[in-house]
Amino acid sequence: MAIRRFFMSVFVVALIGAGTITPAAAASGGASQFIRDLGDQAIQVLQTQGLTLEQREGRFREILRQGFNVDFIGRFVIGRYWRKASAQQKADYQQFFGEYILQTYAGRFGGYAGEKLTITEEKPAGKTDVVVRTRISRPSGSPINADWRVRATDGRYGIIDVMVEGVSIALTHRQEFSGLIKKSGVDGLINLLHARVDKLPATTAMVK
């Protein structure tokens, strides 16, 4: 808990001061509308007939890519190691982290039959951000509570964190990755992310 609180304060500090907010984007309800639009697009894509699950998830990843501020999340997740990384390491890390995070959450949130996204609440978080609370319900299985932390940067909304059942993905990854970087360096982390996104998908054919 203490560790969690420590990370939370680090997180809040990290969030303040990056990016400007425009009055139009900050207007109340705007962030909810942004999440609602993303959710509508996502559900439309996920229900498109005639596409394989892999294709639907691929399109869903593109929607998430537009909505997530992947660059920001990636930098936050490796924290102080970002400044020490070489230009090549930064580029490789951002590529594989982006692919990894989009792949993970496209798989986690999407693809389920008959999925629905309901916005339950919108509340300010700190001076710059808004948290949009949602419930993702599925005909089979229990609903997921996902809170989306949204920030407007240069007049554009972007998701900078998601809390699934109260657990922040940014903080979870920060904890996992900092241990790994200590053990095997930034290159070790890049290799791990590369290996995670390099897997083959499910198949119907007997591939030899």
Q: Does 95 bind other proteins (CB under 8 A)?
A: yes
The order of strands in the sheet holding 129-137 is 116-125, 129-137, 144-153, 156-164, 167-168
How many chain residues bind other proteins (CB under 8 A)? 36
Residues 13-52, mask of contacts with other proteins (x by CB under 8 A): ---------------------------------x-----x
- Residue by residue, DSSP assigns 121-161 as EEEEETTTEEEEEEEEE-SSS--EEEEEEEEEETTEEEEEE
Q: Does 196 bind other proteins (CB under 8 A)?
A: yes
**116 in helix, strand or coil?**
strand
Q: Does 198 bind other proteins (CB under 8 A)?
A: yes
Q: Does 155 bind other proteins (CB under 8 A)?
A: no
Whether the CA torsion 167, 171, 172, 173 is positive or negative: it is positive
Q: Does 116 bind other proteins (CB under 8 A)?
A: no
**68 in helix, strand or coil?**
strand
Least CB distance to other proteins at residue 23 (A): 26
Q: Does 108 bind other proteins (CB under 8 A)?
A: yes
Containing 9, the helix (H) or strand (E) segment is helix 2-15
Q: Does 175 bind other proteins (CB under 8 A)?
A: no
Q: Does 89 bind other proteins (CB under 8 A)?
A: no
Binding window for other proteins (CB under 8 A); candidates: 5-13, 76-84, 87-95, 122-130: 87-95
Write the CB contacts of 79 (distance below 8 Å, at least 6 apart in sequence). Answer: 10, 14, 174, 178
Least CB distance to other proteins at residue 9 (A): 29
Please give the Cα distance from 92 to 190 (Å, whole number): 7
- Binding other proteins by CB under 8 A: which of 12, 16, 53, 167? 53
In the complex, the residues that contact other proteins under the rule CB under 8 A are 46, 52-53, 65, 70-71, 91, 94-95, 98, 104, 107-108, 111-115, 140-141, 191-196, 198-204, 206-208
